[in-house]
Amino acid sequence: MENNKKSKFANIIWQVYKYLLTIISMFRTNIRDYGMYIALAGIFIIFGSMTNWVFLGPINFTNLLNQTAYVSVLAVGMTLVIVTRQIDLSVGYIGAFLGAYVVVAVENLGQPVWLALAGALLLTSVVGIIKGYFIAKIKVPSFVVTLGGMFIFKGLLMLKTNNRTIPTTNVFFQKIGIGYLTTYDIGGVDIITLIIGAILVTVLIFSGIKGRKKNDKLGIPNEKLEIFITKLVFMFGVITYLSWTLSSHKGISYLLLITVVVVVIYHLMTTRTTLGRRIYAVGGNPDAAELSGINVEKIIVIVFISMGVLALISGVMYVSRLQNTSPNHGPFWELYAIAAAFIGGASASGGSGKIVNAVIGSIVIMSLKNGMALAGIDANIEPIILGSVLLLAVVFDIYTRNVRSIDLVGIHYAKKKYHKDLIEAKEQFEIATKELKEAKKLNKEDLIEYEYRFTDFQGQFNKIKEKIRVAKEEDFI
Amino acid sequence: MKQKYILSMKSITKLFPGVKALDEVNINVKRGEIHFIVGENGAGKSTLMNVLSGIYPHGNYDGDIIFDGKTKRFHGIKDSVKDGIIIINQELALFPNLTVFENIFVGHEISKNGVIDWDKTKELAKKYLDMVGIDVDIYQMVSSLGVGKQQLIEIAKALSQDVKLLILDEPTAALNDNDSDNLLKLLVELKKQGITSIMISHKLKEVEAIADSLTILRDGKTIIRMDKKDVNEQIIIKNMVGREIDNIFPKRVPYKGGEVVLETVHLNSFDKELNRYIVSDSNIKLRKGEVVGIAGLMGAGRTELALSIFGNPKNYKISGKVLVSNKSVILDSPKKAIDNGIAYVSEDRKTNGLILEETISQNITIANLKKISRYGILNFFKQNLFAEQYVKDIDIKTPSILQQVKYLSGGNQQKVQVSKWLFSNPEILILDEPTRGIDVGAKYEIYTIINDLVSKGMSILIISSELPEILGMCDRVYVIAEGNQTAEFDIKDATPENIMKSATV
């Protein structure tokens, strides 16, 4: 009876240990994707603790998300530009110029908002086509084309604003910039936000389960159940926290809503549509894409038009949030977007980069800005930290490029199974090493024989180690 | 005491993600011999040489390298060069925009306090060029020289670095017969001067001609080490492929004739960059169910002819007509060519055939996304279903359709390329060097696929530098030389001699 209890207890401990091993294996295998999430969590915790958790509190967190909106939207477009092996330096000033265009059209020319927006949309599309034409058709490097564009639109911004800050009081800009979705408060908490959160969680769970079933049907291996559930729990936690934080302040802002809509559309476009597949194919291998019947030039033009449209959205977000347009808007926007895309793991050699990760990259950047200001750190330090983070992120990405999958549970079983062989091989290897050393010291005539012996045992030892290293849990069931 | 073996590589094991490229490989090379390493593509020959030369540094592989009686741990190519191990790769490492003498001493310039002694450099360059028996102006740009001469300059460069062990990775792959012979003679000459060579080659004739011994690799394992006297072609092939191949070309039902599906009429292509005609007055016909070969030397304009038909992606200036099923069509983009039922399996699958970072299923479906989507939305279920089907039908060896194609062997990559184009439902399939760089076994499988396709009514155009392939697979042959169509043979009249004669007009 006593014994039985003991083994039961040991079993529970083993199950917990096994679960931990599984989770750690997952992190180590997918470190490339999860590294950034871990980094973001680290940043949150650091700034949280430095600011007595004000950083993560409802007011500041809402503010952080609103601040991030314009960079996120640019970063989404920039990711596709980078995926197709291009760069766009012009979008900062284009975005600022379009913001100015819309504000001036509404405030000074008395145009209705829709007309101003339509005009800006037309303008940015034409600019996108021109950029794309120069880059794709005439083959001018995008760096040069968009550098030119950057100067041109800096000048146009100054002309448009007449070198003055122009405030706006239009309802549209107020709503977009500082407005929130309708709320329904109960005890200081917005119920609508909570309900949206609940719906999201439900959708997540059901689509996750559906995906697993579909994979089963197709015979594509699913991730381990433990990992799937852990991920769900984690997502549940994040969404719960987000909806709670937002609902305890003012609910969901229009800025956040627009960002989410843009991100969802682009995420679906890149992962589920033929257009997305073509964009990544062009980035992965332009020559092969061309020969596969893909119009490479057209794809690049489309990517630059999309970038322009997102610059418009970004610019309007920015002027709306500040309730004015100014000749000082625009610098560094494009560089933040590029940094966000790279922090998010986009590859400069093209073909890879995820939309959602670019948004995470944007949040990393803005968290640094916001957090350091809140913690009262000298504002001049911020770019130094940001630059270092960017470098670290890219170095990390390169280092983890060829990470092999690992299954610690499998290794645990394998270690048990091959324990005796391993010890034996190790002993022999150590003896051979020692003998070789001595033979070298004595400069023996048949030194080479010792070398052979050494290599032999080294090989055997490594072979067993390798066998353990690649072991998988499935192999032991 | 000098060891008998200048080089021993002992139980070398090298892993790549998902692939064991080398599995306990052993190589022993005697001092002053010419040793061949033979094996199918993907057997691990190049990987082994990369281990030896330090491209994969010590610690990246298991096993030991014993060179000149000492265990060596190379941490980069610099270390191995310092010990006199010099590797000359298939892709030559010369600087095209530097002169011959500059090239020979790039990286180990003769200098004093960082200032280069050009007089001495030129003097020595001449000396080494004489040693390899090449007659060139040392002031000439390397880009203006042919591949054969460039190869020799690489060897001169190796000599200038005090080479003890010279490694040549498929040195004759890009050479014509004359240049190949010269190279082989040079190796024998160098042997007399005490330089040991390792040569990687597919060409068994070369093995017979100059090898002292050879090692055969298969699937990353050492199969056998043999001395020259025990060697004949049959034994080598048997050990290379692990089975006897009676017939390299599978039998096919003879071609019976059909209507013309593709025709070029006075087709001319002008390359604006080269400023010359690369295809002039091409008149070829391809009939339903027929296999037609395009023979010719490298650079004769065969690929250019194929690209001129396949939508002209390189923007040549084209005149003349292309008829598909007797109707004149304007094919000004690959997409239009695909829409007209033409598919083109490119010569170089890595640079313009496949998207290496993407998966098998993504690569197979990329040329016909319409078939797996509706209103621009992809249907992954269909995508994977089709991919599974091709993996099974074409027998692509892979653990999963979600494997990135960069991890596949050359033969399997080629099968992915063929699958991709079959998925576009073509009636006319252009195969540009369909078996370049793939092993004998995979070649046979590709040939079987070709036969299977023509028996179902597809028409196939094969561009090939390998005469046996043209003679073994085609019903009719066109020969091209310097852009001109110089001959047309029915297969029963075609011989290696008369094809070569027409190709070298």
Alpha carbons B239 and B36: distance in angstroms, whole number: 14
Q: How far is B367 from chain A (nearest CA, A)?
A: 5
Last residue of a domain, one of A334, A367, A399: A399
Alpha carbon of B355 to those of A50, A96, A348, B73, B351: distances in Å?
47, 37, 16, 35, 8
Q: Testing the interface with B: which of A32, A279, A285, A440 to mutate, by most B Cβ within 10 A?
A: A285
Which residue, B207, B241, B275, sits at the end of a domain?
B241
| A261, A393: one domain | yes
Torsion angles phi and psi, residue B262, rounded to 5 = -140, 135
Q: B167 near B117, Cβ under 8 Å?
A: no
Q: How far is it, in rounded angstroms, from Cα A185 to Cα A174? A: 22
B112 shares a domain with B73: no
B69 and B168 fall within a common domain: yes
A466 lies in which domain range?
A: 408-476
Together in a domain, A349 and A414: no
Number of domains composing chain A:
2
Number of alpha helices (DSSP H) and beta strands (DSSP E) in chain B: 16, 25
Say whether A466 and B15 touch across the interface (CB within 8 A): yes
Tokens 């012996």, residue?
A453
Q: Is B129 in the same domain as B108? A: yes
Lookup: tokens for B166: 């010279």
Q: Are residues A326 and A435 in the same domain?
A: no
Contact status, residue A135 vs residue A304, Cβ threshold 8 Å: yes
The set of residues, in sequence order, having a beta carbon less than 8 Å from that of B59 and lying 6+ positions away, is: none
Q: Which of A90, A69, A73, A68 is nearest to A304 (CA)?
A: A90
CA–CA distance, B137 with A466 (Å, rounded to integer): 54
CATH of the domain at A98: 1.10.3470.10
Q: Do A104 and A41 share a structural domain?
A: yes
| B198 and B221 together in one domain | yes
CB contact under 8 A, B11 and A351: no
Nearest to A288 among B337, B352, B400 (CB): B352
Final residue in a domain of this structure, among A339, A369, A399: A399
pLDDT in tens, chain A (477 residues): 556 777 888 889 988 998 899 888 888 888 888 888 888 999 999 999 999 999 999 999 999 999 999 999 999 999 999 999 999 999 999 999 999 999 999 999 999 999 999 999 999 999 999 999 999 999 999 999 999 999 999 999 999 999 999 999 999 999 999 999 888 888 878 888 899 999 999 998 998 898 888 878 776 777 888 888 988 999 899 999 999 889 988 889 999 999 999 999 999 999 999 999 999 999 999 999 999 999 999 999 999 999 999 999 999 999 999 999 999 999 999 999 999 999 998 988 888 899 999 999 999 999 999 999 999 999 899 899 999 999 998 898 888 877 777 888 888 888 888 888 899 989 988 998 898 888 888 887 777 778 777 877 887 888 888 888 888 887 777
Distance from CA of B139 to the nearest CA of A (A): 34
In a domain, A189, yes or no: no
3-state secondary structure of A437: helix
Return the residue in B24, B62, B272, B422 with the most chain A beta carbons within 10 A, the one to mutate for interface testing.
B62
B485 found inside a domain: yes
CB B188 within 8 A of CB B133: no
Together in a domain, A322 and A466:
no
Measured between beta carbons, which residues in chain B are less than 8 angstroms from residue A459? 10-11, 13, 24, 62-63
Mean pLDDT of chain B: 87
What's the total number of domains in chain B?
Answer: 4
Q: Same domain for B365 and B234? A: no
Residues B436 and B479 in one domain: yes
Task: Assess: ipTM above 0.85.
Answer: no
Which of B424, B455, B474 is at the close of a domain?
B424
What's the pTM value of the predicted model, to 2 decimals? 0.80
Which distant-in-sequence residues (6+ apart) come within 8 Å of A273 by Cβ? B373, B376, B377, B378
Domain that holds residue B115: 95-150
pLDDT at B1: 41
Confidence of residue B19 (pLDDT cuts 50, 70, 90): low
Q: Do A351 and B357 touch (CB under 8 A)?
A: yes
DSSP B357: T
Contacts of A42 (CB under 8 A, 6+ apart): none
SS3 A90: coil
- Does residue B502 sit in the same domain as residue B430? yes
Do B76 and B116 lie in one domain? The reply is no
Residues A376 and A423 in one domain: no
- What CATH number does residue B206 fall under? 3.40.50.300
Closest-CA residue to A130 (of A158, A90, A161): A90
Look at residues B404, B424, B444 and tell me which one is the last residue of a structural domain: B424
Instruction: Please indicate, yes or no, whether residues B504 and B449 belong to a single structural domain of this protein.
Output: yes
